[in-house]
Structure 1
Amino acid sequence: MTSRGPGKRVRKAPAERRSEMVAAAARVGLAEGLECITLRRVADELGVQSGLVGHYFPAADKLVAEAFTSATMTELDSLLPEEPAGPGGPGPDLGADPGTPLHTFRRFFTLTSSTDFDNVSKLWLNARHLSRYRPVLRDHVVEQELLWCRRIERVVAAGVEAGDFRCGDPWVTAVRILVAIDGTTAYVNTSADRRAAPIAHLTRTFAETELGLPVGTLESS
């Protein structure tokens, strides 16, 4: 297993090579759709033989599923990192102390309502459709749904404990928020100008109601 490079051939460790393939497949899936992920396409992206990709992924469905997970986990870690960004961390000034549940959700809803989130929204829509016919992908979609809900639940629970949010069950609220996000992103293939006005703030205002907050509390300042 080698990789072409300027002047010499470099052997890569199996874990590195496999990770490289999943990352390449994730890029294809985000840009063009999961249907476009094939062993040949990933091999072409990496400049290797398709047999090498097939060695690591004898079944293309496994590569598609792992590519979906890779792309959505990268987005989740960006939107709701395990460790909140401290002062000076990335993102706009949202009018709340960095790292607090309020700041975290203001950033989260600002980013998920922007067109920057469109490619990931399309990927989710694409994956949910294909998962009807691909059991391996379906398992990954369910796992990612649970992970996203748990990250949202953690922020909700922290906000309730801090006295910023009010809700009866953080898990139920987290599920409802994720469903609201999914509901709005179902229209992601509609042009941005046509969908923006009616639903631009729907998820944020729904979350404010769920969390017992006045309208506009989670809006970036």
Structure 2
Amino acid sequence: MTSRAQPIRTRKLPGERRAEIVRTAAHIALEEGLERITLRRVADELGVRPGLIGHYFPAVENLVSEAFSHAATEERASLMPCEERGLPADARLARFLVRLTDGEYRDLSRLWLNARHLSRFKPGLRSAVRAQESETRTALTDLIEEGRLAGVFTTGDAPGAALHILVTVDGLGAYANDDAQVEHPALDDMAIATAERLLGLAGGSLRRASSCADR
């Protein structure tokens, strides 16, 4: 009787395994919430023993914080992709705001609500939330300042305008858990209209800028 050859199992490098764990935890967070991240749950998703996850993350709180940071970083990269840096500032801002309001980012809005609530009780997660907020605020401030220097935006306070826009976006995100969402056209354009008012743009100009950039 011939023996069947056993598949060769390749051990992943520590960096690869750690990144895989964080990606998996981030996926769980987006789909079900940060509370659902446990060493056993992540291990089950990856088909490994919980002890392996514990080797990289002895404290699950650290994994929760890194999972949130990973998801938020990926979100920012997709909202402000590097390949669009050659576009005018108003077109890039328009695309950023249109993407945020088209419904595709509802799971991420829920994640931010989830993270901000839990961060009251988890110092590590609180630090991660603050760091990600700062990164996004800086990226938007830089974009607005670029537009101001190019003569596209008229604001004299780029950081203040960025903060105002992001607070409006966060306010809209508070509806993310409402399955019977309030339906009103004002909600679709609230962040965009706020940006236009703060930056000295005509009403409807940001949506037009977004459409023109696609041509």
TM-superposed CA distance for 1:217, in Å, is 1.0
Structure 1 counterpart of 2:131: 143
| 1:22-37 equivalence runs, <5 A | 22-37=22-37
TM-superposed CA distance for 1:192, in Å, is 6.2
Give the Cα–Cα distance (whole angstroms) in 2 for the partners of residues 202 and 190 of structure 1: 18
Give the Cα–Cα distance (whole angstroms) in 2 for the partners of residues 193 and 137 of structure 1: 28
CA contact (8 A) 1:187 1:195 kept: no
CA contact (8 A) 1:43 1:50 kept: yes
TM-superposed CA distance for 1:132, in Å, is 0.3
Give the Cα–Cα distance (whole angstroms) in 1 for the partners of residues 140 and 180 of structure 2: 26
Structure 1 counterpart of 2:48: 48
Give the Cα–Cα distance (whole angstroms) in 1 for the partners of residues 78 and 192 of structure 2: 18
Bigger proportion of residues as helix: 2
CA contact (8 A) 2:64 2:125 kept: yes
CA contact (8 A) 1:115 1:192 kept: no
Aligned alpha-carbon RMSD (Å): 1.5
Structure 1 counterpart of 2:116: 128
| Closer, same or farther: CA 41–155 of 1 in aligned 2, 3 Å | same
Q: Which consecutive residues of structure 2, in runs of 5 or more, have no partner in the other structure?
A: 1-5
- Paired amino acid for 1:68: F
TM-superposed CA distance for 1:202, in Å, is 0.5
| 1:8-19 equivalence runs, <5 A | 8-19=8-19
| 1:89-108 equivalence runs, <5 A | 99-108=87-96
Q: Which consecutive residues of structure 1, in runs of 5 or more, have no partner in the other structure?
A: 1-5, 87-97
| Closer, same or farther: CA 102–140 of 1 in aligned 2, 3 Å | same
CA contact (8 A) 2:175 2:181 kept: no
TM-score, length basis structure 1: 0.88
TM-superposed CA distance for 1:191, in Å, is 2.8
Give the Cα–Cα distance (whole angstroms) in 1 for the partners of residues 151 and 103 of structure 2: 32
Query: What SS is found at the alignment partner of 1:12?
Result: coil
TM-superposed CA distance for 1:106, in Å, is 1.3
Moved over 6 A (4+): none
CA contact (8 A) 1:84 1:104 kept: no
TM-superposed CA distance for 1:85, in Å, is 2.3
- Paired amino acid for 1:26: A
Give the Cα–Cα distance (whole angstroms) in 2 for the partners of residues 145 and 181 of structure 1: 12
Residues 130-187 of structure 1, C-alpha deviations (whole Å, 9 max, x = no match): 0000000000000000000011011101100110001111111111111111011111
- Paired amino acid for 2:79: L
Structure 2 counterpart of 1:71: 71
Structure 1 counterpart of 2:21: 21
TM-score, length basis structure 2: 0.91
Structure 1 counterpart of 2:3: none
- Paired amino acid for 2:117: H
Identical counterparts, % of pairs: 44
Give the Cα–Cα distance (whole angstroms) in 1 for the partners of residues 185 and 52 of structure 2: 48
TM-superposed CA distance for 1:47, in Å, is 0.6
Query: What SS is found at the alignment partner of 2:206?
Result: coil
| 1:138-177 equivalence runs, <5 A | 138-177=126-165
**Is it true that 1:111 corresponds to 2:117 in the alignment?**
no
Structure 2 counterpart of 1:212: 200
Give the Cα–Cα distance (whole angstroms) in 2 for the partners of residues 140 and 165 of structure 1: 31
CA contact (8 A) 2:29 2:36 kept: yes
CA contact (8 A) 2:141 2:159 kept: yes
Query: What SS is found at the alignment partner of 2:104?
Result: helix
